[in-house]
Every structure is written in C-alpha cells, then in structure tokens.
Amino acid sequence: MSGTYQVGIDIGGTFTDVVILDPGSGRVVVGKRLTSSDSPAQAVIEVMREMLERDDIAAREVGKAIHGTTLVTNLIIERKGATTGLLTTRGFRDALEIGREMRYDIYDIFLELPKPMVRRSRRLEVTERLDNHGRVLIPLTHEEAERAVDQLLALGVESAAVCLLHSFRNPTHERMLRDLILAKRPGFPVSISSEVVGEVREYERTSTTVANAYTMPVGRRYLGELDRGMAELGLGGRLYIMLSTGGITAPQTAAEHPIRLLESGPAAGALAAAWTGKQTQQPNVISFDMGGTTAKTCIIENGNPIRVNEFEAGRVYRFKKGSGLPIKIPVIEMIEIGAGGGSIATIGPLGLLKVGPESAGADPGPACYGRGGKGPTVTDADLILGYLNANFFLGGEIKLDPELARATLANKLARPLNLTVDRAAWGVHEVVNENMANAARIHLVEKGLDPRRFSLVAFGGAGPVHAYQVAQKLRLETVIVPPGAGVCSAFGFLLAPMAFDFSRSYIVRLEEVLWERLNSIYTEMEARGRQLLLDAGVAPEDVQFMRSADMRYVGQGFEIGVSLPRGEFNRESLEDFRCAFEKQYQSIYQRLCPEIPMESVNWRLTATGPRPEIGEAKWWSPGVSLALALKGERRAYLPAEGTYAEVPVYDRYLLPVGAEIEGPAIVEERESTLVINGPGQAQVDEFGNVVVRLE
C-alpha cells in the first residue's frame, strides 16, 4: 500500500468491523472482532491499534477515519438514555401520548403503544402562544421562562428538550428558553425543535426533539471519548461520523444532533451495495446486510438508495408501522428485521418455530461459541447444516463447537417438535430466509417495483450464507458477493461525502409563494450548511447544494419529494415547480389532477462536499487456478435433495479472476462464507466479486 490511508469503523450489535483503504490503489485490509457493550469507544481504539500494528501502518499516515454506530438506536430501543425533561406550550403537555390518535392495528385488543421517553412529571408547560403564521399571540415573559427553567432543573434532569407550538415558524421563544438554561447551566444538553427538525407536524417534531435530547448526553460522551482516543493514537487526519442519510459530518456536529446517527451503520452498507452494483454494471440492486443481530434490506434504483424523511424507532411490534416512535429525519430507507446469526429460535404460542427478534449478541453469543449461550441460534443451525467451518470462523479466532450447537437444538427445538436435529436446524435456516424474503417482497410491492428487475448484493457476516435461498424465494437471477463481504458496511463509510441536511416548513400554494421569503429560507439554510462543511474541512470551492421540496395537491395528507433547481427563485420559477411536481407524481401514481392546485409543505436542502475518489483496484488474489483454491470437501445439507452431500469448499483469497464454480459449493473467507446450496454458476469478476447466476 502507499499514500494516505482511510479507515472505516462499524460497530454492530455483535461484531465491530474495521476497514483500512489505500484510495490510490483501492487495496483494502480488514479486521473484525466481537463488540464490547461495556466500552464501545475503547474497543474501537483497541481494534484500530491492533490493525495498525498488524499491517505495519503508521498512524500518522491515516488521513481520515469514518465511524458509524448503533449506539443511538440501542439507547432508544433499550431505554438507556438520559433523564430528560420537556418544556412545551401550555395545554400541549400530553402530545407525546396523544400522538396521532390512531391505532396501528384496529383488530388488536391488546395493542401496545410506544412509551414516551419523558415521564409526564418531567413535562412542564410554559405560558406562551404563536399562531400558525408565527405571530406572537401570548408573549413569553422573562419571569415565566425563568420559572419554567428553574422548575425543570430542580427535577434533576440530565438533558432538556424544548418544543413549542408553531416554533418552526418563529423560534424566538424556544431560543429564549435555551439561552436561559445555558446561562444557568453552561454546557447543559439542550435540544430545541426549531433546530432539530424545523418542520410542521407537532407530534413528530416533539418526538424527534425529545429523542435527540434523550440521546445527547451519552452521544456527546461517547463521541468525545472516541475523538480523544483517535488523537491519542496519533492519527494524521480527522475523525468523521456517518449520518443516516449516507453523508458524514464532524464529531462536534454529530454530538449536537445524535438523532441523525440513528441508522448510520446500515446506511453505509447501502452505499457499499450501490458501489458494488456500479462495478458490476447492475444499477438496480437490493442490498442484503445480515449481521449477528439483524438483517437489513435496501432498494437501490438507478444506482441510488431510496431516501425518506421520516423513520420509526423502537417499534413495539417490529413489523408494524405505527408501533414505534416517529423520528423526522432524512434517512436511507431500509427494512430491518431481527434475523441475524445470533437470533434465537424458539417455539411460539401456536407450537410453530419462531426465530428472533431476540438475539444472543456478542455476549454470551450463540451456544456454539462456548461462552455460555443457551438458546439455539441461526449460527448454531448453520453450523449443524455444514455451512460454517468450525475451525475457520473469523479466520480461526473463534472455535465453534458443533456438539454444543447440536445439544441446544435438540433440547430446545427438536425434541419438543418431534423432529431430528438436522430437520430442526434446516427449519431455523428456512424460517429466517422466508422472513427476510417476505420483508423485502412487501417493501418492493409497496414501492410498485418488480423484484425480478433487481440483483441481490449480499454482505455482512451471515448475508452470503443465506443469500442463495433468499434470492430463490424472491425469484432473482443474480447474487453478488463483494470481497470482504463480512465488513462491507465499514467499507461503505469510505464512499460517503461530507454532507448535512436542512429543512424548513413554509406551507403555501405555489401560486401564492412569496419569492423573497422562499429565497431567504434557502439563503439561511445554505449559509448554515456552508459553515458546517467548512468547519469539517471541505474546501469552499467544493461545497455543493441540492434543493428539494415536499409537495402535494391541496387537501392531501401526505407529500412527495420533488427536486428543485439552483439559483434565485422568482415568478418564472412557478412553471418549473409545477412541471417537476407533475413528473414525479405521474411516475408514482400514474395519474394527475390538473384541476386541483398544488402546495408545498417543507423546503429542503442538502449541503455536500465532493464524493471520495477510490481507485477501482483489480482483484489481488495470487491464485492461478481453481484447483489450487480448493480447500477440500465438507458435508453440507442440500434442500433440493433433502439430504447431506459432500460439497467442494474454496478459499476466497486464492480464487483467480475468471474462476467458474459450479453449485452446490461453499466459498470461505475470514469474515463470511458464501453458501451455494443448490444449482447455479458462480464466476469471479475482475474486482473480486463472486457473481452467482441461479438456475
């Protein structure tokens, strides 16, 4: 390797993945270890130190380190965030519990709603009021503000959220409360809704602001420790943090907006899948990222992951929309299910096999790890089926024990269900595959997309093990497994540009737009975005802006995203807005309503730096023939035959470019294993991707 190195670090629920890249040549070295839940920041530093020493890389030669984490997601799901207080407009104390006043399942008489992150006793009201245009109806006096702030701080809260009615129109009262809190407690974590999410919709805005405040103290501490640790390693460059949109930002900015990190790790995986699709000239792909705890799928159409502007966190029921807390942030849209290598299999109330969402995680891990895990997991089943090498898991760092796996499957599943251990293991494998395929199928149908137009890009430690069967169920023709598939998300961090998103609500019919006001909104957002990018080290000439708006027909309850041109807007822009909306609306709904006027709800801006340039290195394997890459044979289960057979096992690192493999076959690398447990042809392309054509 030569030149300035870049590092990607991904902390998952089970494993921490590290990638070190030489952008000039595209050469990559990787590392993987079990995640430390007690001290994730320190674990990252230790992984980095080990990697630099192992591969003889001087820390000063690292120009950039990019990190993504599940920390924020876990804080919300596990409810381990800070003790938070909320200041809100008098009469709106219970907005978090009233929500949308909708039942997400009208037939469930035992329906559970997500519990607010702020107890009612810590939600305080202030006497003030703005109208829907931001005009002051009841002013917030200094005496009233001081009373509310003193009362809130006296409750012993560790963080504060401020969300006042219509503050997205006029943030003066929110800023007054924030400034008063900081005057009394310098450095105190405070989140105000007009800065966290300056958009209409009171419940969503309150929920998002509270979530930001709830995670801010831990986020600040974690990112601070990580930043200092990287500095102590002597890195020659800077640390950056991945956002849920697939952009990156500085740790200081991320610490003030931790809610923007909610899906940071999975977002990187989507970027890596898009990159792989580009390499293989497949612009339409489904990313399939299966790790130790969860599996994520993302639709990538025409080379770009689909983005949305709202997300649900901490769902009471994982698959039911509406059962979680609404988080109004831009995010790469993904479907996530509790189906990872560590997902625990149980017998459900109807006597049927059920897998996940509970996971054995890194500690104690699956039973076969020999660390005290008792529940049968997907990894245990895959080991029994012959898909995993007991002596080559993580390159041999973790020795898997087939007898422990067989014992837990026998005791917890096979005997109660009157099955053989092998049939129980296949049942676990099949249930997981069906769950993942069904989730992806529903997601595609909701978007009006035909799965058969797509190829599957499989990565994560367990993704390539299950990809063949998932692709079969979705009737896909091609599965692509990139090199270093087990740490692919960490590589995705290195593909992200510096970026941040902004939004402002200005609800107006297009023919009534006040152009001076609209230009002022974009001028303000661009100034803020430019400053954040400059502070993060982006050169002034490299700053770029992308504009869009959430538009709809008057009377509709939901909007669609519409791209807008650069430059100053005026009356001549009206026709451009109209044409852009109609083109997007027609593509989604196949119809127009020309007699109904149009309006815009939110105006959005993405401030971004240049996309990193990474050399497209050819596959570096020293292999010269398929025969030399053959490690031997292993007894593995073939579902089409319903029995075990001896299957050839290949060393991924010795596969030469152009190598052709006839399925059934297994291809092993240190961090993951590709299982082709049926008919098909696989070929290694010039970039090292194993491209599997299903029959």
**Residue-number span of the structural domain to which 571 is assigned:** 499-608
Tell me how crowded residue 499 is: count the other CB atoms within 10 A of its CB. Answer: 24
Domain contains 301: no
38 beta partners: none
Q: When comparing pLDDT for 54 and 546, which is higher?
A: 546
* Amino acid, single-letter form, for residue 592: L
Q: Which of 333, 260, 326, 322 shows the shortest CA–CA distance to 296?
A: 333
Count how many residues are written for the chain.
695
The reply to whether 508 and 604 lie within a common domain is yes
The reply to whether 65 and 88 lie within a common domain is no
Domain contains 41: yes
Mean pLDDT of 537-547: 91
Mean pLDDT of the chain: 88
| Number of domains forming the structure of the chain | 5
Judge contact between 459 and 482, C-beta under 8 A: yes
Domain contains 454: no
The reply to whether 144 and 240 lie within a common domain is no
The reply to whether 85 and 58 lie within a common domain is no
Instruction: Please give the span between the terminal C-alpha atoms of the chain, in angstroms, as a whole number.
Output: 40
* Amino acid, single-letter form, for residue 204: E
Return the CATH number at 255.
3.30.420.40
Q: What is the pTM of this model?
A: 0.83
What percentage of residues in the chain have a pLDDT greater than 70? 97
Task: Name the pLDDT band for 617 (thresholds 50, 70, 90).
Answer: low
The reply to whether 189 and 236 lie within a common domain is no
At residue 616, the pLDDT reads 64
Judge contact between 436 and 456, C-beta under 8 A: no
Q: Does 2 score more than 60 pLDDT?
A: no
Alpha helix stretches (DSSP H) within 447-572: 463-474, 488-492, 515-535
Mean pLDDT of 130-142: 93
Mean pLDDT of 471-488: 91
Domain contains 554: yes
d(CA 622, CA 200) in angstroms, rounded, equals: 58
Domain contains 415: yes
Tell me how crowded residue 316 is: count the other CB atoms within 10 A of its CB. Answer: 15
- Point out the least confidently predicted range of 12-21, 53-62, 64-73, 322-331: 12-21
Domain contains 445: no
Listed residues 411, 429, 447: the one ending a domain: 429
The two tokens of residue 260 are 């923007």
Domain contains 199: yes
d(CA 482, CA 547) in angstroms, rounded, equals: 33
The reply to whether 528 and 592 lie within a common domain is yes
The reply to whether 207 and 226 lie within a common domain is no
The reply to whether 87 and 211 lie within a common domain is yes
Task: Name the pLDDT band for 443 (thresholds 50, 70, 90).
Answer: confident
Q: Convert the pLDDT of each residue in 619-643 to its tens digit.
A: 777 878 899 999 999 999 999 888 9
The reply to whether 191 and 90 lie within a common domain is yes
Domain contains 476: no
The reply to whether 189 and 229 lie within a common domain is no
Q: Convert the pLDDT of each residue in 153-172 to its tens digit.
A: 999 999 999 999 999 989 99
Task: Name the pLDDT band for 264 (thresholds 50, 70, 90).
Answer: confident
Task: Name the pLDDT band for 141 (thresholds 50, 70, 90).
Answer: very high
What percentage of residues in the chain have a pLDDT greater than 90? 49
Q: Does 24 score more than 80 pLDDT?
A: no
Listed residues 152, 185, 215: the one ending a domain: 215
Backbone angles phi, psi at 499, to 5 degrees: -160, 155
65 beta partners: 7, 239
Q: Does 1 score more than 60 pLDDT?
A: no
Helix (H, G, I), strand (E, B) or coil at 52: helix
The reply to whether 127 and 227 lie within a common domain is no
Q: When comparing pLDDT for 387 and 490, which is higher?
A: 387
